[in-house]
Amino acid sequence: MALALLAPARSPRCEEPAEPAPPPGAPADVALWQRGQQAGEAVVGVRAEAGRLQQRVKSERLAERLAAAAAGRAPEVGGPLLALRDRLVGAWSRSYEVASRRWPVDPTRVCWPQMLLFESALRAPAASSEGDLSQARRELATCADRAELAARALAAPNRELAEAAEAAARALAAGDR
């Protein structure tokens, strides 16, 4: 207890960043703002995961190691290793193709510009901003639709690549024994 009293107070930099608070508004508007936030986080998250998985396959040289492990082995041993290598390379290629193609939303900013405009329209005096608010609602909803679709499109190849990489690592580890 005494040591806890002597410890320096936590500075704001040591604390977890606070989640952004939704702007004041009708429940449907708050839900739309939260949907935009979640869609942005989903896009950034699946793209980061794709990069991490693709880097793992490359840095651990999983495909090359599977091919080397299969070389000179009997077909009943080497064949499954080569099939696993083909599965891994196919999954890596699909993940890379989806991650690197043109996205329907900016992959870095996602819907945050539309969220800022929407938030500004929500905070503006009601009489002067109803048209702006309607347009901002439409733009944010459209962006969230596109972002959610894009995130789902990359989530499946990410799962496939993660499963193939884990299977490759297990097969290589079993061969090392």
Q: Are 91 and 164 in contact (CB under 8 A)?
A: yes
Three-state SS letters, 75-105: HHHHHHHHHHHHHHHHHHHHHHHHHHCCCCC
Q: What is the pLDDT of residue 176?
A: 66
Q: What is the pLDDT of residue 9?
A: 58
Q: What is the pLDDT of residue 20?
A: 78
Total-model pTM: 0.80
Q: What is the pLDDT of residue 175?
A: 77
CB atoms within 10 A of CB 10: 8
What's the pLDDT band for 158 if we cut at 50, 70, 90? Answer: very high
Instruction: Give, in order, the Cα–Cα distances in Å from 109 to each of 7, 22, 40, 80, 141.
Output: 40, 18, 7, 43, 15
When pLDDT is averaged across residues 59-84 and rounded to a whole number, the result is 94
Tell me the per-residue pLDDT of 135-154, one tens digit each, with 9 for 90 and over. 999 999 999 999 999 999 99
The CA distance from 31 to 27, in Å, is 6
Query: Nearest Cα to 139, choosing from 14, 9, 33?
Result: 33
What's the pLDDT band for 125 if we cut at 50, 70, 90? Answer: confident
The CA distance from 112 to 67, in Å, is 44
- Which has the higher per-residue pLDDT, 177 or 35? 35
DSSP letters along 101-114, please? SPPSS-TTTTTHHH
- The DSSP 8-state label assigned to residue 72 in this structure reads T
φ, ψ of residue 142 in degrees (nearest 5) = -65, -45
With a CB cutoff of 8 Å and minimum separation 6, the contacts of 24 are 122, 123
- The DSSP 8-state label assigned to residue 125 in this structure reads -
Tell me the per-residue pLDDT of 96-116, one tens digit each, with 9 for 90 and over. 999 999 999 999 999 999 999
Residue 177 pLDDT greater than 90, yes or no: no
